[in-house]
């Protein structure tokens, strides 16, 4: 069953159990109604009566991120070249190609127990959970050993070390929020500005 059909089934079940009204509000940044190049971002609005405006935005739980790290020789074994990474922002897990942040923005180096680590901001502030949405079967990047997720205050970072720093790898991350992500960042421009400010 497709994600949309599952969503509609859940929505119908909620409405039958608790007589309320729902509105699915989908908007592109350019406000196109003709099916332009931009993917629409949607949120659910809950209303007690049909003509209640503006209604209450339902929590938008999940956002997705992809950290795309590539070496020129495409090595997955930890070669001589340092990987260059950029973050990809996605509203839903299967959104492709997603929205690319500039290369290197949001990433910085630190020394941890005598070993270099490169940390990259996942832009999941105030998320109550951050997780690997897809398993990584890799020859040089091993979870908890040469890469991992780390929470610092309200922020979440993905770190890489050892041979993983010199390897082509794709990290898929999910973030769960209690409130809609757009309450923190109104647009991708705001997200990218944050990443640029955190660049080493």
Mean pLDDT in residue range 165-169: 98
Q: Which of 14, 38, 57 is the last residue of a domain?
A: 57
Residues 81 and 180 in one domain: yes
Residues 39 and 83 in one domain: no
Mean pLDDT in residue range 84-94: 94
Q: Which of 57, 72, 92 is the last residue of a domain?
A: 57
Residues 75 and 31 in one domain: no
**Domain range for residue 131?**
62-197
Residues 38 and 96 in one domain: no
Q: pLDDT of 6-61, one tens digit each?
A: 554 555 555 455 556 777 677 777 778 888 777 776 666 666 777 777 766 555 57
Residues 105 and 156 in one domain: yes
Instruction: Tell me what pLDDT residue 60 has.
Output: 58
Q: In total, how many domains does the chain have?
A: 2
Collapsing DSSP to helix, strand or coil, 162 comes out as helix
Instruction: Tell me what pLDDT residue 39 has.
Output: 73
Instruction: Tell me what pLDDT residue 131 has.
Output: 94
The percent of residues above 70 in pLDDT, for the chain, comes to 81
Residues 70 and 123 in one domain: yes
Q: pLDDT of 143-153, one tens digit each?
A: 999 999 999 99
Residues 40 and 109 in one domain: no
Q: Which of 40, 57, 74 is the last residue of a domain?
A: 57
Please report the sign of the dihedral spanned by the C-alpha atoms of residue 64, residue 67, residue 73, residue 76. negative
Residues 124 and 148 in one domain: yes
pTM, to two decimals: 0.70
Mean pLDDT in residue range 85-98: 93
- Local structure of residue 143 (DSSP, 8 states): B
């Amino acid at each position: 069953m497709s994600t949309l059909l599952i969503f509609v089934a859940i929505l119908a079940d909620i409405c039958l159990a608790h007589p309320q009204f729902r509105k699915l509000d989908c908007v592109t940044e350019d406000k196109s109604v003709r099916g332009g190049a931009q993917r629409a971002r949607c949120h659910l609005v809950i209303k007690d009566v049909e003509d209640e405006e503006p209604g209450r935005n339902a929590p938008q739980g999940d956002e997705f991120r992809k950290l795309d790290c590539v070496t020129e020789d495409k090595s997955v074994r930890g070669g001589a070249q340092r990987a260059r990474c950029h973050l990809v922002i996605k509203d839903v897990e299967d959104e492709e190609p997603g929205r690319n942040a500039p290369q290197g923005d949001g990433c910085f180096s630190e020394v941890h127990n005598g070993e270099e680590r490169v940390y990259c901001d996942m832009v999941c502030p105030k998320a109550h959970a951050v997780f690997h949405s897809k398993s990584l079967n890799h020859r040089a990047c091993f979870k908890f050993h040469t890469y991992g997720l780390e929470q610092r205050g309200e922020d979440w970072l993905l770190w890489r070390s050892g041979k993983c720093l010199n390897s082509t790898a794709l990290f898929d991350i999910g973030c769960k929020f209690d409130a809609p992500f757009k309450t923190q960042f109104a647009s991708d421009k705001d997200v990218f500005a944050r990443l640029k400010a955190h660049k080493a």
